[in-house]
């Protein structure tokens, strides 16, 4: 009989689990750059990212840039994401862009449920679930965003808020599709404010998110990449990414500068 395995310290085990997950740094350009500026930005990212092999890089430009940018990243390791997709498959929905159209343009990821969409465009969990399902049906991995606002954090309700956001959407996808989902935890009070969650705050809630996911999907939650977003920059990325349940970042402002974006990616 051999009891040695029971006395192994915890850190090596965590390390092994961590290796099962993909580290990701994704740039959410939001409504910034012209096509010309976007192509220049992505060309710089392609050039400067050549030696990066430990992290998956994703860029999420505006819809109008997708064709030009997909041409620029062909043959590279960089992947393309949209910032949104329609909640309907096709038809008379003026102004919308469907998941099928995006898949046709080589889009592999879609940011869904960003707090700016939830707040300014009143996207409910019901709408977000439709978007997530359509993305998955078209072979696109959702980067599903969750996060509390300042009031909710101050009232210590952040755990309940993210749990509800996850339950209402992620728990309703097919178990076999779950592994294609990436979660981005973005506290609203940290987005574009210069205020960042501390590495400890990020770890605490990322671990909680994983616990919530494992309650429904069991061991599969160990391979879910959970990204942090909110004023992430070269100066704070290393500390945040060093935490065991932080598997990368969803970067806003700093992703518009190739040097900063690459410096963040090199923080792993
Ligand atoms: P900032 O990095 O500009 O705070 O934005 C974060 C974000 O919203 C990414 O989706």
What is the tens place of the pLDDT at every residue in 88-146? Answer: 999 999 999 999 999 999 999 999 999 999 999 999 999 999 999 999 999 999 999 99
Q: How far is the CA of 257 from the centre of ligand 1 (A)?
A: 13
Place of tokens 């064709």: 67
Examine the pLDDT at 12 and tell me if it is beyond 50: no
- Catalytic site positions: 114, 186
Whole-number Å distance, alpha carbon 191 to ligand 1 midpoint, is 5
Residue 192 to residue 188: CA distance in whole angstroms: 9
Tokens representing 56?
Answer: 């998956």
- CA atoms within 13 Å, Cβ hemisphere of 124: 2
Mutation choice for ligand 1 from 26, 30, 236, 260, CB with most ligand atoms inside 8 A: 30
Question: Do residues 185 and 206 make contact, with C-beta atoms less than 8 angstroms apart?
Answer: yes
Taking CB atoms and a 6 Å cutoff, what residues make up the pocket around ligand 1? 28, 114, 186, 191-192, 229-232, 250-254
- Structural tokens at position 252: 């806003």
Q: What angle do CA 243, 150, 125 make, to 5 degrees?
A: 85
Under a CB-based contact definition with an 8 Å cutoff, are residues 251 and 236 in contact? no
DSSP 3-state assignment of 146?
Answer: strand
The span from the CA of 197 to the CA of 243, in Å, is: 13
Q: Which atom of ligand 1 is nearest to the CA of 232?
A: 2
pLDDT at 3 over 70: no
Please, are residues 142 and 135 in contact by the beta-carbon 8 Å criterion?
yes
pLDDT of residue 177: 97
Ligand 1 atom at minimum distance from 194 CA: 4
Ligand 1 center from residue 117 Cα (angstroms)? 13
CA distance 202 to 247: 11
**Residue with CA nearest ligand 1 atom 1:** 252
pTM, whole model, 2 decimals?
0.93
- Structural contact between residues 128 and 112, judged by C-beta atoms closer than 8 angstroms: yes
Domain ranges within the chain, ordered by starting residue: 24-84+96-265
CA of 9 to the centre of ligand 1 (A): 36
pLDDT at 32 over 80: yes
Q: Rounded to whole angstroms, how far apart are CA atoms 167 and 189? A: 22
CA of 230 to the centre of ligand 1 (A): 5
Mean pLDDT of all residues belonging to the chain: 93
Nearest-atom number in ligand 1 for the CA of 254 is: 2
Q: What is the fold, at CATH topology level, of the domain defined by 24-84+96-265?
A: TIM Barrel (3.20.20)
Give the pLDDT of residue 1: 35
Neighbours of 264 (CB within 10 A): 28
Q: Calculate mean pLDDT across residues 211-225.
A: 98
CB distance 113 to 145 below 8 Å: yes
Are 233 and 265 a contacting pair, CB within 8 Å? no
* Alpha carbon nearest to ligand 1 atom 7, residue: 252
Q: Is the dihedral of CA 255, 260, 266, 268 positive or negative?
A: negative
Q: Quickly tell me which residue has 């779950």 as its tokens.
A: 178
Closest ligand 1 atom to residue 184 Cα is 10
Give Dmax (Cα) for the chain. 69
């Amino acid at each position: 009989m051999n009891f040695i395995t029971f006395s192994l310290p915890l850190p090596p085990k965590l390390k092994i689990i961590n290796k099962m997950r993909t580290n990701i740094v994704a740039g959410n350009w939001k409504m910034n750059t012209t096509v010309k500026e976007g192509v220049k930005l992505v060309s710089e990212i392609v050039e400067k990212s050549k030696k990066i092999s430990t992290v998956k890089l994703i860029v999420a430009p505006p819809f109008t840039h997708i064709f030009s940018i997909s041409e620029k990243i062909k043959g590279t390791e960089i992947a393309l994401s949209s910032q949104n997709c329609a909640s309907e498959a096709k038809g008379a929905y003026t102004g919308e862009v469907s998941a099928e159209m995006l898949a046709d343009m080589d889009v592999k990821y879609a940011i869904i449920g960003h707090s700016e969409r939830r707040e300014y465009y009143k996207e409910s969990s019901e709408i977000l679930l439709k978007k997530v399902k359509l993305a998955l049906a078209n072979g696109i991995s959702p980067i599903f965003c969750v996060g509390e606002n300042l009031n909710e954090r101050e009232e210590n309700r952040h755990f309940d808020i993210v749990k509800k956001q996850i339950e209402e959407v992620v728990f309703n996808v097919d178990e076999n599709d779950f592994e294609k989902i990436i979660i981005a935890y973005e506290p609203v009070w940290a987005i574009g404010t210069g205020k960042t969650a501390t590495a400890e705050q990020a770890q605490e809630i990322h671990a909680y998110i994983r616990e919530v996911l494992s309650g429904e999907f069991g061991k599969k939650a160990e391979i879910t990449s959970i990204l942090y977003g909110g004023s992430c920059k070269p100066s704070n990325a290393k500390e945040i990414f060093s935490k065991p349940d932080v598997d990368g970042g969803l970067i806003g402002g700093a992703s518009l500068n190739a040097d900063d974006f690459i410096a963040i990616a090199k923080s792993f």
